[in-house]
Amino acid sequence: MFRAVLDLFADGRIHLPPLSLRDIHDARQVFREMSQGRHIGKLVLDVGDGLGGGTVLVTGGTGGVGSLLARHLVAEHGVRNLLLASRSGPAADGVTDLVADLQDAGAAVQVAALDIADRSAVADLLTRLPGRYPLTAVVHAAGALADGTVESLTAQSVDDVLRAKAGGAINLDELTREHHLSAFIAFSALAGTLGNAGQANYAAANAFLDGLAARRKASGLPGTSLAWGWWEHSSGMTGELDAADLARLRRTGITAMPTPEALALFDTARADGKPALVPAHLDLAVLRGKDAEEVPPLLRDLVESGRPRRTRTGTGTGQESGPAHLPARLAGLPAAEARATVLEWVREQVAVVFGHTSGASVDVDEAFTRLGSDSLIAVELCNRLNASTGLRLPSTIVFSYPTPRELSDHISDLLRPPADTGTAGATEEDAAIREVLRTVSIDSLRSAGVLDLVLACAEAPGAGCAASAADESAGADELSDLDLEALVDLALDDKR
Ligand SMILES: NC(=O)c1ccc[n+]([C@@H]2O[C@H](COP(=O)([O-])OP(=O)(O)OC[C@H]3O[C@@H](n4cnc5c(N)ncnc54)[C@H](OP(=O)(O)O)[C@@H]3O)[C@@H](O)[C@H]2O)c1
């Protein structure tokens, strides 16, 4: 029977239960978990540095945040064996000084050049570790960016970002199963938790890390994913951000964390032991100044539970708070005044996203491209416009209406003041319906069997939509060549 059991181990059909190394300082908690049967496998108390006393692998360890962490592990956690890995390895900027400092502090340091998503390179790296100092902890801080709006993402830009984070994590997860790790910590990012303009690929990669940590934890393995906010220390990822990018980040309500604060949060997270945590510095005043729809859903309770929300001051003409407040402000204004109000309001929004001090400094006839627009600015501007108008403008709106004045005219046309089209409610609803209709393809109207009806409405709106399509067949043939937007315009022109 013993031989049969050994054969099962040899075939990989059964495995030893996992061995979980825990810091001696957590002994009270560990015994509590054991007494309640909440653990899987063996629990071993570590009397060393809290990271198993062996080698700690830091992927991305030659980068901005990774190198700060390497110094912290040596200085504060007493780690004595470090393996820093990145593609550039010993050729990375500042590595010579980093290694010298770590060695002066008493650590033995190896720096390896490899792509962490390359499975055989990772396997090879792990077999080359010194027997006396087996791998006892992993910090996976490797990461890369390839930002762009969703429409502009390519297979390559998705792959580049997933590769380092998710590809690397899969390799480390699978290839370290035979090592008795005390910690497996992935550096994730807030973009995966809250979302962030232009970072769909990065968000997916980080969300993967969060899920992997939870899965590891559930199967009795160490696993922690830290969805970091923004580190103040400039790094490879944040060093390229210009003033407008930094201002945009602050407007999201996320403020930069000084290094000591971030490292202290790392220690707190280590002690907490939960699989997914968000170490980030939020600016609640900024969040409370936003309309509810602009605050990420996960943060809304946090914002609402504080002091009452501030009323936003925009152009100083009152009634500026709450969703879709612009149509309400336009209600009752004469047409010319309504257009001027929309123009002033658009200038204010443009000033905010382009980092101008006020709307007055925005030239309304200057092309957005000359103002410095990029796809992320376009998305942010579009989100602001939509939140306050109730419209669903596409993120490409600044390309279709390339100056603040043209954009404002377009919005004015969509949000007709009550004097033009009836009640304020009807204006908002009409505008919203009209935006939705623009997205409907002729094919979908045809397959839904309503194309003839729509054509009949466009051809003879005064006669009512129930007019027989057969009666209109000649006109319908001609009209079917037009897209829906042209049809709606035609119908409205007939109405005037
Ligand atoms: N800085 C922040 O505010 C912030 C906020 C949230 C999350 N984070 C996370 O913290 C981690 C470190 O970011 P950072 O700001 O310090 O950026 P960074 O300076 O660019 O560091 C990234 C590191 O990852 C390495 N790397 C990239 N792709 C790799 C691959 N395929 N294989 C091996 N190494 C690879 C890079 O070196 P090579 O290019 O030489 O490979 C570099 O050392 C990232 O995971 C990031 O998502 C940072």
Give 194 Cα–ligand 1 centroid separation in angstroms. 20
Going by C-alpha positions, the residue among 341, 329, 325 that lies closest to residue 384 is: 325
Question: Domain check: are 331 and 236 in the same one?
Answer: no
CA distances from 205 to 64, 116, 212, 476 (A): 19, 14, 11, 50
- Kindly state whether residue 448 falls inside one of the protein's structural domains: yes
> Are 271 and 357 within one domain?
no
**Residue 274 confidence (pLDDT):** 92
- Ligand 1 pocket member 87 (CB < 6 A): yes
Instruction: Indicate whether residue 141 lines ligand 1 (CB < 6 A).
Output: yes
**29 membership: H or E segment, kind and range:** helix 27-35
Q: Please indicate, yes or no, whether residues 435 and 445 belong to a single structural domain of this protein.
A: no
Q: How large is the C-alpha radius of gyration of the chain?
A: 29
pLDDT of residue 490: 52
Q: Is 59 in the pocket of ligand 1 (CB under 6 A)?
A: yes
Residues 328 and 472 in one domain: no
pLDDT bin (cut points 50, 70, 90) of residue 410 is: very high
Average pLDDT taken over every residue of the chain: 84
Q: Are 347 and 417 in contact (CB under 8 A)?
A: no
Q: Please report which confidence band the pLDDT of residue 65 belongs to, taking 50, 70 and 90 as the band edges.
A: very high
Domain housing 412: 319-439
Q: Is 122 in the pocket of ligand 1 (CB under 6 A)?
A: no
Atom of ligand 1 nearest to the CA of 65: 16
How many angstroms does the Cα of residue 15 sit away from the middle of ligand 1? 34
159 Cα to the center of ligand 1, angstroms: 15
- The confidence score (pLDDT) of residue 477 equals 47
Supply the pLDDT for residue 340: 93
486 falls within a domain: yes
Q: What's the total number of domains in the chain?
A: 3
Is the same domain home to 476 and 411? Answer: no
| Distance between Cα 412 and ligand 1 center (Å) | 45
List, for residues 242-272, the tens digit of each pLDDT value.
Answer: 877 888 888 889 999 999 999 999 999 988 8
User: CA–CA distance from 116 to each of 32, 119, 176, 455 (Å)?
Assistant: 37, 7, 13, 58
Q: Ligand 1 centroid to 244 CA: how many Å?
A: 22
Share of the chain above pLDDT 90, in %: 48
pTM for this model (two decimals): 0.70
Question: Looking at the structure, do residues 269 and 387 belong to the same domain, yes or no?
Answer: no
Q: How confident is the model at residue 87 (pLDDT cuts 50, 70, 90)?
A: very high
Residue 489 confidence (pLDDT):
55
> What is the per-residue pLDDT for 324?
60
Residue with the smallest CA separation from ligand 1 atom 18 is 236
Q: 448 and 414 in one domain?
A: no
The packing angle between helices 424-438 and 404-414, to 10°, is: 110
pLDDT in tens, 361-406: 899 999 998 887 777 788 889 988 988 888 889 888 988 999 999 9
In the structure, what pLDDT confidence band is assigned to residue 464 with cuts at 50, 70 and 90? very low
More confident residue, 272 or 71: 71
pLDDT, one tens digit per residue, over 166-188 is 999 999 999 999 998 999 999 99
Residues 167 and 27 in one domain: yes
Ligand 1 center to residue 164 CA distance, Å?
A: 8
Question: Which pLDDT score is estimated for 430?
Answer: 74
pLDDT of 353 above 70: yes
Q: What is the mean pLDDT of residues 449-473?
A: 52
Instruction: For ligand 1, atom 41, name the residue with the nearest CA.
Output: 87
Shared domain for 35 and 112, answered yes or no, is: yes
Q: Best of 115, 235, 238 to mutate for ligand 1, by most ligand atoms within 8 A of CB?
A: 235
445 within a domain of the structure (yes/no): yes
139 lines ligand 1 (CB under 6 A): no
Ligand 1 center from residue 187 Cα (angstroms):
9
The closest-lying atom of ligand 1 relative to the alpha carbon of residue 68 is 16
Q: Do 210 and 96 belong to one domain?
A: yes
What is the arithmetic mean of pLDDT over 211-240? 94
Does a structural domain hold residue 105? Answer: yes
Position 306 in a domain: no
Query: Is the minimum distance from the CB of 279 to ligand 1 under 6 angstroms?
Result: no
Rounded distance from Cα 375 to ligand 1 centre (Å): 23
| Residue 485 in this model has a pLDDT that exceeds 60 | no
Q: In testing the pocket of ligand 1, which one of 145, 209, 237, 250 has its CB within 8 Å of the most ligand atoms? A: 237
Residues 61 and 205 in one domain: yes
CA torsion, ordered 67, 70, 72, 74, to nearest 10 deg? -140
Residue 317 has pLDDT above 50, yes or no: no
**Which ligand 1 atom is at minimum distance from the Cα of 61?**
43
| 111 assigned to some structural domain | yes
Domain shared by 371 and 456, yes or no: no
For residues 345 and 315, is the Cβ–Cβ distance under 8 A?
Answer: yes
Mean pLDDT of 300-326: 55
User: Which protein residue has the closest C-alpha to ligand 1 atom 21?
Assistant: 63
Whether 300 is covered by a domain: the verdict is no
Is the model's pLDDT at 295 over the cut of 90? Answer: no
Confidence of residue 296 (pLDDT cuts 50, 70, 90): confident
Q: Which atom of ligand 1 is nearest to the CA of 235?
A: 19
